[in-house]
């Protein structure tokens, strides 16, 4: 079975550049190229929802110069690459709090979301200024405001950025780090986790297929028992 929803923590841009004695931002530039390639690959494999972690609520700790370059790469991505992806039927959703972003970027993102909302292909979620704890606090505040006294899993899910979308079946992290770095904490409760040593700029369509193949070898039990011959005795 092809995983319906795949989420990726795109990590290792800085190390990719460092390995080549280049400034970190060159890694980000190369990383954006990988994004376009892998989104197309995800679509062609048959993945329906694809979530990429682009900027976390903790990434503001980075030097201002690096943040500025990331914003300028984001603008280029919206103008050029999103247009192309939209042509392939990709639908866009942003996960995260955009209010801290420069005004021009907010406008461009909103315009892209609007244009792409008519598309019916791959659902692309880009996590921008995203933090799972921030997302959950936002949901709890909404519950308090709506006077919800008896929260259920369905209610919480409906108050997250991913409202209406199935949870990730597969979570991939590149660059060999075994941590989730405040990504989709609620939604990955039962995701299969796949870590690869590949640095994000080096990640290929083949690597994505490899991750999907590994997912297909896993036995998902969701707390139950999968062995059909078992009588439970
Ligand atoms: C991931 O690459 C991109 C962002 C977090 C924006 P990094 O910039 O974290 O690269 P490393 O982990 O330092 O190699
Ligand atoms: C996670 O990568 C965030 C993104 C990929 C956007 P980081 O590089 O920020 O995570 P840590 O600091 O290694 O946990
Ligand atoms: Mg990193």
Q: Write out pLDDT tens, residues 117-141.
A: 999 999 999 999 999 999 999 999 9
In the prediction, which pLDDT does 230 show? 53
59 as an active site residue: the answer is: yes
Calculate how far, in angstroms, residue 144's C-alpha sits from the geometric centre of ligand 2.
31
For atom 14 of ligand 2, the residue with the nearest CA is 181
The burial of 230, by beta-carbon neighbours within 10 Å (0-12 exposed, 13-18 middle, 19 or more buried), is given as exposed
For the stretch 185-215, pLDDT in tens is 999 999 999 999 999 999 999 999 999 999 9
Residue 233 has pLDDT above 60, yes or no: no
Q: Give me the residue label for tokens 């997250």.
A: 160
CA-wise closest residue to 6 among 161, 170, 166, 163: 170
**Choice between 228 and 8, residue whose per-residue pLDDT is larger:** 8
11 as an active site residue: the answer is: yes
Average pLDDT score, the chain: 96
């Amino acid at each position: 079975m092809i995983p319906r929803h795949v989420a990726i923590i795109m990590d290792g841009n800085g190390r990719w550049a460092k390995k080549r004695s280049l400034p970190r931002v060159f890694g980000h530039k190369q990383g954006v190229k990988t994004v376009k390639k892998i989104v197309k690959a995800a679509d062609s494999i048959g993945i329906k929802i694809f979530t990429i972690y682009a900027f976390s609520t903790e990434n503001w700790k980075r030097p201002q110069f690096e943040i500025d370059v990331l914003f300028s790469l984001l603008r280029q991505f919206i103008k050029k690459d999103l247009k192309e992806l939209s042509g392939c039927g990709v639908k866009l959703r942003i996960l995260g709090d955009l209010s801290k972003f420069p005004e021009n970027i907010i406008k461009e993102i909103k315009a892209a979301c609007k244009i792409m909302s008519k598309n019916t292909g791959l659902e692309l979620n880009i996590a921008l200024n995203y933090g799972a704890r921030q997302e959950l606090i936002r949901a709890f505040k909404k519950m308090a405001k709506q006077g919800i006294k008896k929260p259920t899993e369905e209610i919480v899910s409906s108050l997250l950025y991913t409202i209406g979308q199935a949870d990730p079946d597969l979570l991939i992290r590149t660059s060999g780090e075994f941590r989730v770095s405040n990504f989709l904490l609620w939604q990955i409760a039962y995701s299969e986790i796949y870590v690869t040593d590949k640095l994000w700029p080096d990640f290929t369509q083949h690597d994505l297929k490899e991750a999907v193949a590994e997912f297909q070898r896993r036995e998902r039990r969701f707390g139950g028992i999968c062995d059909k011959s078992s009588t439970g005795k």
